[in-house]
Amino acid sequence: MTQGFFKGDKTNYINQITGIQVKPGTLWTNGYIQITVPGGIESKKGLLDATLDENTVAFTSKDNELVNQIKSKIEELMSQQRMGHIINQLSPADEIRKYKELLDDGVITQEEFEQKKKQLLGF
């Protein structure tokens, strides 16, 4: 929670993820799920250091099953990506270019373009 609350939202696209680690929560300690991305400096020293990593989310033991489902889904999508079943995701800038082309071709309105641009830029 501290990462999102103080630093804002961050998006890691499936094609950027190189690994995922889960430490389940227990009755005495929180667990965490940690996403590894190229150039990331993920913690390897446990929960306290992991809470400082922007790609780590801590959770309580009551959420262990949900986190395992999330991990499984991410691994499934990563596998599909490697096998070419997922079309490469575009960056927000590329998406905006795509919508600008649709605007220029008269397929969408200026209002629709501005709305999509704001969405892609997180406004």
* Residue 50, H or E segment: helix 47-50
Number of C-beta neighbours around residue 1 at 10 A:
9
**Do 78 and 28 have their domain in common?**
yes
Using alpha carbons, select from 29, 35, 22 the residue that is nearest to residue 61.
29
- Rounded distance between C-alpha atoms, residue 48 and residue 51, angstroms: 5
56 and 42 Cβ atoms separated by less than 8 Å: yes
Over residues 24-33, the pLDDT tens digits come to 999 999 999 9
Q: Domain limits at 56? A: 2-82
Residues 52 and 75 placed together within one structural domain of the fold: yes
Please determine, for residue 111, whether its predicted confidence score (pLDDT) is greater than 90.
Answer: yes
Q: Indicate yes or no: pTM above 0.75.
A: no
Q: State whether 66 and 114 are in the same domain.
A: no
Task: Indicate whether 104 and 75 sit together in one domain.
Answer: no
pLDDT digits (tens, 9 = 90+) for 55-68: 888 899 999 999 99
Q: How confident is the model at residue 49 (pLDDT cuts 50, 70, 90)?
A: low
What pLDDT is attached to residue 123? 76
Run of H or E including 108 = none
